[in-house]
């Protein structure tokens, strides 16, 4: 019995070594988009069982995908200052253990999703494929435009949630996916400028290192416009109230103003503010969509 207890991780160990593997803030933001996609069809008082099943399967799939990404990126994480304390980069857990955790979580999430709905399961599986194989394994270290195809995986949860509620994939779901896809440059590119030296040290190509900061800021501004348009169109066709749509316009306009200001009067402080607001914008937009 004592030997068994010794191999079971303590709560403190799970919190410090294993929990960071799933990047909880990122995971819960993506989970929020999945819930928003589901609630864009069904109201928040829909069957609790269905909501919990969707949230559980999506959490497992997203977490598993994140762990696998961290396993694949452990070498460059060890080089970059902002990531060198991650569990694998800091040798807090064995890589083989993380790989098993990632595979188990991903498989469980996809299997659960397929049981709920073949269409939903296929969309969830596609998201994991794009994230792990297309983005991380194939493109991330080869091209600065990896975020384009890789960004599709970021839009998959909202499409998956809506497809589960509908039973099929519709064009509104694709609009929501595009809204997230266009939002991703605002989030990722501001981040890559803030940690420019880290990415250079790890030899990971970025838009900033390939084309310069000014072009990067222009791309951010354009993508912000596209994200706001796609989100607004999707929200309109979902049928949200005029008040909620107005609030969504205000959030999108604020994002655009910050992005344009960063082009005209660039600064590190504004860049970081834009990075923070981009996450708040997406969270706010998805919450508005969910409770419309």
pLDDT in tens, 94-135: 999 999 999 999 999 999 999 999 999 999 999 999 999 999
Residues recorded for the chain: 292
Q: Average the pLDDT over 151-167 and give the result.
A: 95
SS3 content of the chain, % helix, strand, coil (to 5): 80, 0, 20
- Last residue in a domain, options 168, 200, 231: 168
User: What is the band of 47 on the pLDDT scale with cuts at 50, 70, 90?
Assistant: confident
Nearest to 155 by CA among 133, 132, 126: 126
Q: Give yes or no for a contact between 179 and 231, defined as CB atoms under 8 angstroms apart.
A: yes
* Of 60, 181, 194, 36, residue with least CA distance to 116: 60
Say what the pLDDT of residue 12 is: 64
Cβ atoms within 10 Å, residue 118: 11
Q: What is the mean pLDDT of residues 17-30?
A: 93
Asked if 89 and 212 sit in the same domain, the reply is no
- Is there a domain that residue 203 lies in? yes
Rounded average pLDDT over 47-63: 93
pLDDT value, residue 124: 98
Residue 124 lies in a domain: yes
Per-residue model confidence (pLDDT) at position 271 = 86
pLDDT at residue 6, as a whole number: 47
pLDDT at 46: 64
| pLDDT at residue 2, as a whole number | 45
- Per-residue pLDDT reduced to its tens digit, 188-202: 999 899 999 999 999
Mean local confidence (pLDDT), 156-182: 96
Q: What is the mean pLDDT of residues 47-55?
A: 88
Kindly report the backbone phi and psi dihedral angles of residue 195, in degrees, each rounded to the nearest multiple of 5, phi listed first.
-110, 45
- Mean pLDDT across the stretch 159-182? 95
Q: Work out the percent of the chain whose per-residue pLDDT is above 90.
A: 73
Lowest mean pLDDT among 3-17, 62-76, 245-259: 3-17
User: What's the gap between Cα 197 and its chain centre?
Assistant: 23
**244 and 114 share one domain:** no
Six-digit token pair at 227? 């994200």
* pLDDT score of 27 more than 80: yes
Report the pLDDT value the prediction gives residue 254, as an integer from 0 to 100.
93
For residues 185 and 80, state if they share a domain: no
Torsion of CA 246, 254, 180, 220, to 10 degrees: 150
Q: Residue 155 belongs to a domain with what CATH number?
A: 1.10.357.140
On whether both 291 and 228 belong to a single domain, the answer is: yes
Q: Do 246 and 204 share a structural domain?
A: yes
Q: Which residue segment(s) compose the domain that 40 sits in?
A: 13-168
Domain assignment of residue 24, yes or no: yes
pLDDT band with cut points at 50, 70 and 90 for residue 11: low
pLDDT digits (tens, 9 = 90+) for 228-270: 999 999 999 988 888 999 999 999 999 989 998 989 999 888 8
Q: Domains in the chain: how many in total?
A: 2
What pLDDT band is residue 5 in, cutting at 50, 70 and 90? very low
Report if residue 2 sits inside a domain.
no
Q: Enumerate residues 6+ apart whose C-beta is below 8 A from 107.
A: 64
Give the mean pLDDT of 58-74.
97
* Over residues 143-166, mean pLDDT: 93
């Amino acid at each position: 019995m004592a030997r068994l207890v010794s191999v079971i991780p303590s709560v403190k160990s799970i919190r410090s070594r294993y929990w960071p593997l799933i990047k909880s803030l990122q995971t819960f933001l993506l989970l929020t988009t999945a819930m928003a996609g589901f609630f864009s069809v069904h109201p928040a008082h829909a069957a609790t069982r269905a909501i919990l099943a969707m949230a559980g399967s999506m959490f497992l799939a997203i977490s598993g995908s994140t762990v696998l990404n961290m396993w694949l990126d452990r070498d460059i994480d060890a080089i970059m200052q902002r990531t060198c304390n991650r569990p694998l980069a800091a040798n807090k857990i064995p890589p083989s253990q993380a790989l098993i955790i990632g595979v188990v979580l991903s498989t469980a999430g996809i299997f659960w999703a397929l049981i709920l709905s073949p269409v939903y399961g296929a969309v969830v599986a596609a998201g994991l494929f794009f994230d792990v194989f297309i983005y991380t394994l194939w493109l991330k270290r080869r091209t600065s435009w990896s975020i384009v195809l890789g960004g599709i995986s970021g839009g998959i949860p909202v499409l998956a949630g809506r497809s589960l509620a509908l039973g099929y994939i519709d064009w509104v779901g694709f609009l929501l996916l595009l809204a997230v896809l266009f939002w991703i440059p605002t989030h990722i590119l501001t981040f890559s400028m803030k940690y420019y030296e880290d990415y250079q040290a790890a030899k990971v190509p970025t838009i900033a290192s390939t084309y310069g900061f000014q072009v990067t800021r222009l791309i951010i501004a354009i993508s912000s416009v596209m994200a706001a348009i796609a989100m607004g169109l999707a929200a309109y066709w979902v049928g949200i109230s005029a008040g909620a749509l107005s609030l969504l316009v205000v959030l999108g306009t604020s994002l655009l103003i910050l992005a344009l200001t960063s082009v005209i009067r660039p600064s590190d402080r504004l860049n970081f503010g834009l990075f923070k607001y981009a996450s708040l914008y997406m969270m706010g937009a998805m919450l508005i969509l969910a409770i419309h």
